[in-house]
Structure 1
Amino acid sequence: MSMRLNLLVASAALVFASAAFAAAPQSKPLTSSQQKMADCSHAAKGKTGADYKSAVSTCMKGDSTAAAAPAKMTPQERMSACSKQNAGKKGADYKSAVSACMKAH
């Protein structure tokens, strides 16, 4: 009976060890070009279609002038930035300063 118990314990240990080994990810580290593609894809997040392809292509080529160009801000982002920029102003001064800031961006 002891032999059966030993075989059962050994079998259970083997099953758990093989399941743990199979569950562990066996991924290789990314190559430099794969990492660059992942970074460029992350940088182009939110763009779709031709804009996405163009942004990733430019990034992959290493064109720093396109990468240095600021992203186009949404009206909400512009309003937030202009509001923060003119935080100390009140009334008509605030409204005119924010209006001028919105037109400039």
Structure 2
Amino acid sequence: MKNLLTCLALAALALPALAAPAAADAASAPAAKKAPTAQQTKMKSCNADAKAKDLKGDERKAFMKTCLSTSKQEKQHDKMTSCNADAKTKDLKGDERKAFMKECLSNKPA
């Protein structure tokens, strides 16, 4: 009976020590920041530009729309350039080239 009580007492003392590292990991997880996404970085940059230009209201809204959509235009331009280069490398002509370009441009970027 003494051994059982001794074991229970030791287990009760050891339990908080075992739980402390897990609690520390859980507390530090939300504190650790994830790297910002490309969209978040772009938003931060556009906001800084709008603030530097002291834009307000509709002017700011129009500027932000243009600023944030620029990356989409750049991506489409890059995709078109890449697809054209691939078509040229494969020496495609006529209908084959049209079909290839249609498929290439419709694919989602990797």
Scaled by the length of structure 1, the TM-score of the pair is 0.42
The structure with the largest helix share of the pair is 2
Scaled by the length of structure 2, the TM-score of the pair is 0.41
